[in-house]
Structure 1
Amino acid sequence: MNKPKTCTDTFRFETQPFFEQLRKAISNRTVNTQNLIECKDDMLFAWNPSDCCVIAFNWRLAQTKGDDNVNFQTLIPSTPVDYVVNKVTASHEGQYLALSGSRGVAIMEIPCRYGPNGQYKEGKPRILCTTHILDENYFASNTLVCIQQVRWHPASPKDSNLMVLLSNNSIRTYDEAKLQHIWKIGPTPCAPTRSSLPYLNSLGDTAVDFDISAPRVTAMANANTTLNTTNNDTTVNGGASTKNVEWPLVILFGNGNLYIALIGLDTDKPRIQGPLTIYPSTKDNYGLDSCTILALPSNPTTLVVAESSGRLFHMILVESEAELNNSENYDENGLKYEPCEWIVNVVEVVELEFGLKSTENKDDENNQIFLKADINNDSRYFVYHNAGLHAISIEFLPTLQRYFEDNGDSIDIESILSNFKGNSEYLVALDAKLNAVVGFCLLQSPPGLVLVLSSGQVVTLNVITNPSFLRNIRSSASSSENPKETTESAMLNSKVFSGSFVESIRQMLASGTTQPILKLNERTPKESLELLLDAFQRLRDQYISKHDSVRQKIEQRVKILRVLDEQQRQEVAELLQEKCKLRENAEHLAEKYEEINDRQQALMKSLHEILRLINLRMPSALVAERNFSEQINKIHAITKDLANNIAACKKKMEKQQRITTTDKPAKVLTLQPKQETVLKEIIGESNTQIETQINEIKRIKKTLNMD
């Protein structure tokens, strides 16, 4: 029977055999904050410290089936891992696991997955996996060298390139078991006699962490069409130009200095630049006890630097606009530092709240802080440490990224970023001496988080992909209940309160912290009382004081609005009087307008009649009329000539008739039928033309009244 999910175990993982086995393995063990679990796609991996093996669990299969019968698989290393493992890191494609501790690191090959349930080797319970212990003899002979950080190379062709940062300011790169390169990134620490702590460690000049920024591609001229690897960069040659792919490693030192090492897959000696200039500058260079760095996938790259005191710095890594000088610096060991091509702008500082502290170590303000990027949201990351778990949202990142994607010509960082403030949520509160963090990982589809504690408790929570959705839902919840009242109140508020005032109230009421989930063991009455008093004090400091200041500001605003209301009432009364006067004047002007309009209409009619008469009396006032008159005169002359010709023809015909009647009969001429037909046609056409012209002349005379 399934155990119902609780508010702290929404995925119902606590009853799974995977976590029961992990609970047995870590029971009765005093541990500091570490990360023994890892999630890659639908597989959960955990290091079993008691059996020195890895256990794997298909968590999505368990969610689909909805029961507790999905067993885990045990991945046994082929080579025994005899050092203390405190971190499990999966490669980018999930083909390898890195098992790292302060005194050793190993690479385990993950077997193939097949079968109906998508498990390794069709669900085989125990699988022997090929495991490579990296430089075992080196760590055994160098007792002062510790591993600071391990990260997989993002451009590894076989997903097998691992980079290991050591406390002697060097980075070792491996391809499975093969050591490829040793990169020096700083001076080598040396320990004095009768001491196990090197000089540079105590001064903070040792690299403590690194992360990989976005690559950049540079072009080189005069190259052959081959595939080469130079000493510094991975190069892809084609034609007359070569493209160099450089991966900037952002390296953090304990004193807060930042360096960049430009590396490729086959780089023998990296190009090191630094320390980077940080703006705005401060005396302490933004911290003297830095411990962790995180590079978020954005454009430009956003860096998060954490101090062990609980301060987080949100920085932007941008290319420097100043001209680079060709001068190169060398340290005592001959390590070359090139001029910096980047600068760092600090946007904001977030103070973490350590809600619960052990009563035995109340004065201990330093904690090892670990950062993990959110795989579901690029503008959010998680912080886990001895006092619990935080979720930090970088509000300015989406706006800044959209601006750079639009290819803006210039940017005023202060004007764009001044309106945004990071949001810190305290999710889980712990007492490190009694209940430390053993593992933390993130899930996808559905998004969630898994937190395993040293007491065996498992915290699983759903994660909102975009935190702004929650704010939109909260703001629209009341409007969905009564939209009419909400619309009226919104209109009233928009008239009474300006946007800046409402925004200031929201900022004053905004809570920088959240009430975390408490995961505690049994405490004495005195400790419980101290916890209750601390909660009351936090309530007074963080909530009641804010409401008091908001109340005072609203009262002041109400006084101002009352004075404005009285003034507006007086102005309204004066405006009503002016309205009455204007209405009377408008009626009087309307009557005058009607009279004037009637007079104007009568005058316009008279004017039109006068113009018509003038046009009739003018003989040829217009050019068109003059031309028409000339054409009519010509036609009249032509028709007159034609009439004279017709009269002459008639006289000749009469004369011929008289002659023919008085004279002797002449010889009769006979025409041929064809000639007679032609003459008749000619005479008919002439008669038709004459009749047409006569009709035209009559019509013109009638038109011109020339009868």
Structure 2
Amino acid sequence: MISTGFLIQAKLHLLSPPSFAVERLLCGACGTRLCLWGRRGAVVAELPSRWGRAGLFDGGKETVLCKLVLLHHDYDLLRLLCGACGTRLCLWGRRGAVVAELPSRWGRAGLFDGGKETVLCKSYAVDERFLHAAGDVRRVHWHPASLSHVLVLVSDNTIRLYNIALEHGPKLVSIYTTGPKPSCLIGGRRILDTLGDTAVDFAPLPDTNSVLVLKGDGNVCCLDCDLDSKSSTSKLSGPLAMFPPADDNYGSDSCSLLVLGGGRRPALVVLASSCAVLYHAVLLPHPQVSSSFRVSTSL
């Protein structure tokens, strides 16, 4: 924590330490919330208010106590997503996803339930029967145009859209197909996985209803996820053109995709390969195709 040019160190003590091994730590962008999670649980630690001339926790106390919200699950966690509205969390792993609704914040310090030592938190499993059995969840994102919908990429080449704002729990709204369904196995791997024709990652385009889908062979497609559409047919376009063109399509071992910016400015798309190479591309409009890339490389 930096204030007036000096590095200030404070000891954070949890009122009820988690009973599981904490493997990862995430600090919220506003600096008021810590997320700790491991393979058998997750904890949301609410930091106290910052006040005083230097704006320090509890006015600069050396030891700071944190409130907790506990979330339990039965499978390994890989990622934690915080909703833009600050009232929902989504935790997901290879075998499923859980959406948690955080309680209201009120009182002078703006803490959960006015600062109670024990705070209850509602959580719902997302399509638990299908995701746990079918199994390989590859990525989960909030819908770019809705705070109450999540998109789940599954290894069967589909992206499933769920409404999570219902009283009885998340409901499947639509299934978008990103390619043929993998079936046959060779050496323990699906044929389409070997050929790089399965979706390995996706990322939403800000301020739109669309997402970019990354295939294992490096191709990037654009998928329309319009919430108001009544059509059951997936609107998948692409692959998008890459400039300057490359014989190997900038690698055939792509593994991850990230979209930065967007809105009124062209989005910056970062493609990662398993060889630790990052390709930075600017998403540009094109008169003949839906979009195009202009790519640069970095290690």
Instruction: Indicate yes or no: 2:21 matched with 1:55.
Output: no
Q: Partner of 1:255 in structure 2? A: 217
**Aligned partner of 2:298 among 350, 358, 362:** 350
Instruction: Indicate yes or no: 2:67 matched with 1:73.
Output: yes
Cα offsets for 1:297-346 (capped at 9, x unmatched): 14112111111222111111111123xxxxxxxxxxxxxxxxx4111111
**Aligned partner of 2:153 among 160, 165, 169:** 165
Distance, in Å, in 2 between the alignment partners of 1:211 and 1:321 is 24
Distance, in Å, in 1 between the alignment partners of 2:199 and 2:8 is 39
Native 8 Å contact 2:218 2:250 kept in 1: yes
Instruction: Indicate yes or no: 2:43 matched with 1:43.
Output: no
SS in 2 for 1:122: coil
Q: Partner of 2:84 in structure 1? A: 92
**Aligned partner of 1:290 among 243, 249, 254:** 254
Cα offsets for 1:432-472 (capped at 9, x unmatched): xxxxxxxxxxxxxxxxxxxxxxxxxxxxxxxxxxxxxxxxx
TM (norm. structure 2) is 0.84
- Structure 1 gaps, min length 5: 216-245, 323-339, 352-707
Cα offsets for 1:545-600 (capped at 9, x unmatched): xxxxxxxxxxxxxxxxxxxxxxxxxxxxxxxxxxxxxxxxxxxxxxxxxxxxxxxx
Q: CA deviation at 1:266?
A: 3.3
Q: CA deviation at 1:76?
A: 3.2
Question: Counting helix residues as a fraction of each chain, which structure ranks higher?
Answer: 1
Instruction: Indicate yes or no: 2:140 matched with 1:150.
Output: yes
Instruction: Indicate yes or no: 2:281 matched with 1:320.
Output: no
Distance, in Å, in 2 between the alignment partners of 1:248 and 1:58 is 35
Distance, in Å, in 2 between the alignment partners of 1:197 and 1:68 is 54
Paired amino acid for 1:209: D
Q: CA deviation at 1:199?
A: 1.8
SS in 1 for 2:65: coil
Paired amino acid for 1:170: T
- Alignment of structure 1 residues 106-185 onto 2, 5 Å: 106-142=98-134, 145-156=135-146, 159-176=147-164, 177-185=170-178
Distance, in Å, in 2 between the alignment partners of 1:60 and 1:51 is 29
Native 8 Å contact 1:53 1:74 kept in 2: no
**Aligned partner of 1:198 among 175, 190, 201:** 190
Choose 1 or 2 for highest CA Rg.
1
SS in 2 for 1:17: strand
Distance, in Å, in 2 between the alignment partners of 1:10 and 1:270 is 52
SS in 2 for 1:126: coil
Structure 1 pair 53–282 and aligned structure 2 pair: CA distance change class (3 A) = closer
Cα offsets for 1:185-214 (capped at 9, x unmatched): 111111427x54322222222211111224
Distance, in Å, in 1 between the alignment partners of 2:15 and 2:120 is 21
Q: Percent identity?
A: 28
Structure 1 pair 184–50 and aligned structure 2 pair: CA distance change class (3 A) = closer
Q: Partner of 1:311 in structure 2? A: 277
Cα offsets for 1:651-704 (capped at 9, x unmatched): xxxxxxxxxxxxxxxxxxxxxxxxxxxxxxxxxxxxxxxxxxxxxxxxxxxxxx
Paired amino acid for 2:9: R
Q: Partner of 1:212 in structure 2? A: 204
Q: Partner of 2:53 in structure 1? A: none
Q: Partner of 2:238 in structure 1? A: 274
Paired amino acid for 2:282: I
Question: Counting strand residues as a fraction of each chain, which structure ranks higher?
Answer: 2
Native 8 Å contact 1:57 1:71 kept in 2: no
Structure 1 pair 186–123 and aligned structure 2 pair: CA distance change class (3 A) = same
Distance, in Å, in 2 between the alignment partners of 1:349 and 1:313 is 4
Distance, in Å, in 1 between the alignment partners of 2:206 and 2:42 is 34
Q: Partner of 1:83 in structure 2? A: 75
SS in 2 for 1:321: coil
Distance, in Å, in 2 between the alignment partners of 1:90 and 1:208 is 22
Distance, in Å, in 2 between the alignment partners of 1:199 and 1:38 is 40
Structure 1 pair 56–349 and aligned structure 2 pair: CA distance change class (3 A) = same
Q: CA deviation at 1:21?
A: 4.2
Q: CA deviation at 1:349?
A: 0.8
Structure 1 pair 201–90 and aligned structure 2 pair: CA distance change class (3 A) = same
CA RMSD in angstroms, aligned pairs only? 2.7
